[in-house]
Structure 1
Amino acid sequence: MTALDTLKTWYDRVWLQGDLDAIDELFTPDTEARGMMDFAVGPEDFKALVPAFLAHVALQDIRYDKVVEMGDWVWASMSAHATSRATEAPVRVTGQIMVRVQEGRIVEAYNQFDFLALFEQLGYLPPDTLALCLSGEGLGLPGA
C-alpha cells in the first residue's frame, strides 16, 4: 500500500464512515497530527474530535485535488464536500495535509484546513469574517 493509499484509507474509514477503530489501525499510539489546533492531536484526541466534527456536517466526498508522493511521504491538497446537519446546506472545506507513512500507518501528520470558511458556511461566523477582521472590525469580543 502506498502512502497515498494509507491517507485515502484514513479519510474513508475515519472521516467518511466514522470508524473510530480505524484510528488505532492507521495511527501509531504516539503519532500526533499538528496544525489543526494550537496543540498536537493524537489518536485518543481524534476519537473525540471526529464525532464532534461529524455532529455538524454529513461528509459525502473527499477529493484529492493535487497530490505529491515521495518515498514514505505524501502531500495532498484536498476538498471535503458535505452538508450541514442543521440546515442541509452544502458545505465545502479545503485544506492541505502532509503525512509520513511506515508499514501502512501514519507516523507524522501536518494539517492546514480552512476552518474559518467552514464555520462561516455553517453559520457560526458571519460571512466574510476574514475581510471583516482585516478591516479592523471585531466579532463582538471585548475591546474589539
Structure 2
Amino acid sequence: MPHKIKTLKAWFEEVWVNGNLDAIPELLAPNARTRGIMGDIPFAADEMAELVTMVRAMLGPIEVSYPVTVQQDDWLSALVEVKSYAIDTGDPVHVSNQFIARFDAHRMVEIYSGVDSLTLFEQLGLLPTNAMAVMLGGTALR
C-alpha cells in the first residue's frame, strides 16, 4: 500500500477513531496547515488535538471508509465516509469528507478537508433537520 494512503488511514484510524492524539505529530509536519470543519479558518497542527477531542466527544464509536483515493505527485485526494452516532440522541451520523493533502516525505503539510459540517451538525441535533433547505428558502437560523 502506498505511503500516502497508509498515512491517510493512520490519520483517520489512529487520530479520529482511536483518539490517539500522540499520533498527530507523526502524521503532520510541524508547519502543517489544515482547513476544513471550521470553514476557511486554518488550524495549525498543535490545535488539531483540541478539534479532535471536541468532535469525538459528540460521537459514539467511529467507522471510516475510503471509497475513492487518487494520488498525483505530492498530493493525495480521497473521498472519506464517516459513520457513527450522536452521543446525546443515539441518532445515526453519516458524513462525507472530500480530503486533499500535500505530503513532504511521509507527513502531511497541507490538508484541505471538505467535510459536510452542515449535515454533521444536523445529525448531531445541533441544527434543525433540513437546515440547508430551510436556509435556501430564505429563513435565517437564529
CA distance in 2: counterparts of 1:60 and 1:21, whole angstroms: 18
Structure 1 counterpart of 2:113, from 111, 117, 120? 111
| Secondary structure of the corresponding residue to residue 28 of structure 1 | strand
TM-score of the aligned structures, taking structure 1 as reference length: 0.91
CA distance in 2: counterparts of 1:42 and 1:138, whole angstroms: 32
CA distance in 2: counterparts of 1:102 and 1:25, whole angstroms: 12
CA distance in 2: counterparts of 1:107 and 1:5, whole angstroms: 15
By how many angstroms is 1:71 displaced?
Answer: 2.4
Q: Which stretch shows the higher mean deviation, 30-39 or 72-81?
A: 30-39
Tell me, which stretches of 5 or more residues in structure 2 are unaligned? none
Letter matched to residue 101 of structure 2: V
Tell me, which stretches of 5 or more residues in structure 1 are unaligned? none
1:31-50 aligned within 5 A: 31-37=32-38, 38-50=40-52
Percent identity over paired residues: 36
Partner of 1:120: 122
CA distance in 1: counterparts of 2:106 and 2:100, whole angstroms: 15
In the alignment, is residue 12 of structure 1 matched against residue 6 of structure 2? no
Letter matched to residue 5 of structure 1: K
Consecutive aligned runs of 4 or more in structure 1 exceeding 2 Å deviation: 35-38
By how many angstroms is 1:36 displaced?
Answer: 2.9
Q: Which has the larger radius of gyration?
A: 1
Paired residues in the alignment total 140
| Secondary structure of the corresponding residue to residue 29 of structure 1 | strand
| Secondary structure of the corresponding residue to residue 119 of structure 2 | helix
C-alpha distance after superposition, 1:74-105 (max 9, x if no partner)? 10011100111112221111110101122211
What CA RMSD, in Å, does the superposition of the two structures yield over aligned residues?
1.2
Partner of 2:86: 84
By how many angstroms is 1:59 displaced?
Answer: 3.6
Partner of 1:138: 140
Partner of 2:103: 101
CA distance in 2: counterparts of 1:85 and 1:124, whole angstroms: 12
TM-score of the aligned structures, taking structure 2 as reference length: 0.93
